[in-house]
């Protein structure tokens, strides 16, 4: 039979001995992650965790996402420390369904956004080192593992147009160059795989298309996404 320890919340991947899967949807800002999550939330009985952006916009009344966009050098460490915490909460929350789908991950927060702040000279080396030590401790001592990454690959220009259209207040000052830098890091991480070790399969979906076409693509790739090892 199944031993009691396998039911423990410390091992979120084993409930009643059944395999649990975590899928992360990754991609640039405005790449269409929300549309993807909405599609799967409506058509399957999987558990969907959206990015905790609302938390970053209101930390007891402080909008640290907005502050970071206004002055990244000053507020980068504050935002990234908090994002790392909220992502850790998401990853370690006990699973209630056999498949969990997440918007982004603790991994992209570190490998893409922290990396970009550091490389662009907006984060001091010591802040980067402290965040990295926290991140490494988390990876080694908790379960933040991922079974499949779905990479919504876009061109930065398309994201830029979508960003302007959706008019999220904090994002009005994002220049095209920022989206290009984020894009380059995503490509290095998930396509060239030269940035950091990728320890799970990556499914790449071209995401420059309109919403209707994207939904068709999710339908086509549905089985592959939900059963990556079949
Ligand atoms: P979607 O559905 O693909 O359009 O996704 P969005 O754009 O609603 O959501 P997303 O993930 O691009 O993030 C919302 C905002 O939060 C966006 O302005 C980028 C920012 N953001 C997300 N994660 C991080 C992070 O780790 N660091 C920094 N600096 N910003 C982040």
Residue-wise pLDDT for 78-110, tens only, equals: 999 999 999 999 999 999 999 999 999 999 999
Alpha-carbon distance values, 54 to 63, 103, 106 (Å)? 9, 13, 16
Who has greater pLDDT, 67 or 172? 67
The total of other beta-carbon atoms located within 10 Å of residue 201's CB is 13
pLDDT tier for residue 20 given thresholds of 50, 70 and 90: confident
Predicted confidence (pLDDT) at residue 8 exceeds the cutoff of 60: no
What per-residue confidence (pLDDT) applies to 140?
96
Domains plus CATH for the chain? 4-226 (3.40.50.300)
What per-residue confidence (pLDDT) applies to 145?
96
Per-state percent for the chain, helix, strand, coil, to nearest 5 = 55, 15, 30
No. of helices (H) and no. of strands (E), the chain: 10, 7
Residue-wise pLDDT for 112-138, tens only, equals: 999 999 999 999 999 999 999 999 999
pLDDT tier for residue 170 given thresholds of 50, 70 and 90: confident
Which atom, in ligand 1's list, is nearest to the CA of 31? 3
Residue-wise pLDDT for 144-167, tens only, equals: 999 999 999 999 999 999 999 988
CB of 181 sitting under 6 A from ligand 1: no
What's the residue count for the chain?
230
CB of 118 sitting under 6 A from ligand 1: no
Asked if 132 contacts 117 with a C-beta cutoff of 8 angstroms, the reply is no
Query: Which residue stretches of the chain are H helix?
Result: 33-43, 53-56, 64-70, 72-92, 106-108, 115-119, 125-141, 156-166, 176-186, 211-226
Which atom, in ligand 1's list, is nearest to the CA of 112? 26
Alpha-carbon distance values, 114 to 29, 131, 135, 217 (Å)? 15, 8, 11, 31
What per-residue confidence (pLDDT) applies to 1?
28
Nearest CA to ligand 1 atom 23: 109
Nearest CA to ligand 1 atom 9: 29
Asked if 131 contacts 140 with a C-beta cutoff of 8 angstroms, the reply is no
What per-residue confidence (pLDDT) applies to 3?
31
Nearest residue to 105 via CA among 151, 58, 141 = 151
pLDDT tier for residue 15 given thresholds of 50, 70 and 90: very low
Alpha-carbon span 117 to 77, nearest angstrom: 9
Q: Which of 26, 47, 51, 103 is catalytic?
A: 103
Query: In whole numbers, what is the pLDDT of the chain averaged over residues?
Result: 90
Q: State in Å: Cα 157 to ligand 1 middle.
A: 16
Alpha-carbon span 224 to 218, nearest angstrom: 10
Q: Is 103 a catalytic residue?
A: yes
Structure tokens at 18: 């059944």
| Phi-psi sector, 48: left (phi>0), alpha (psi -120 to 50), beta | beta
What per-residue confidence (pLDDT) applies to 18?
64
Asked if 48 contacts 101 with a C-beta cutoff of 8 angstroms, the reply is yes
Which atom, in ligand 1's list, is nearest to the CA of 168? 18
């Amino acid at each position: 039979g199944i031993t009691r320890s396998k039911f423990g919340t410390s091992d979120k991947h084993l409930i009643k001995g059944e395999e649990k899967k975590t899928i992360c949807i990754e991609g640039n800002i405005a790449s269409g992650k929300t549309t993807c999550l909405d599609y799967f939330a409506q058509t399957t009985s999987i558990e969907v965790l959206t990015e905790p952006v609302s938390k970053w916009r209101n930390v007891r009344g402080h909008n640290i996402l907005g502050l970071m966009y206004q002055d990244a050098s000053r507020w980068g460490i504050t935002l990234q420390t908090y994002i790392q915490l909220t992502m850790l909460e998401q990853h370690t929350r006990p699973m209630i369904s056999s498949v969990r789908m997440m918007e982004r991950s603790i991994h992209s927060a570190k490998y893409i956004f922290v990396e970009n702040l550091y490389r662009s000279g907006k984060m001091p080396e010591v802040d980067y080192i402290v965040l990295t030590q926290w991140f490494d401790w988390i990876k080694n001592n908790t379960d933040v593992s991922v079974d499949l990454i779905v990479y919504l690959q876009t061109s930065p220009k398309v994201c830029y147009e979508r960003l302007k259209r959706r008019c999220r207040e904090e994002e009005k000052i994002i220049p095209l160059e920022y989206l290009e830098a984020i894009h380059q890091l995503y490509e290095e991480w998930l396509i060239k795989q030269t940035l950091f070790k990728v320890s799970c399969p990556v499914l790449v979906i071209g995401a420059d298309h309109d919403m209707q076409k994207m939904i068709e693509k999710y339908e086509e790739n549905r089985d592959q996404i939900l059963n990556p090892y079949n």
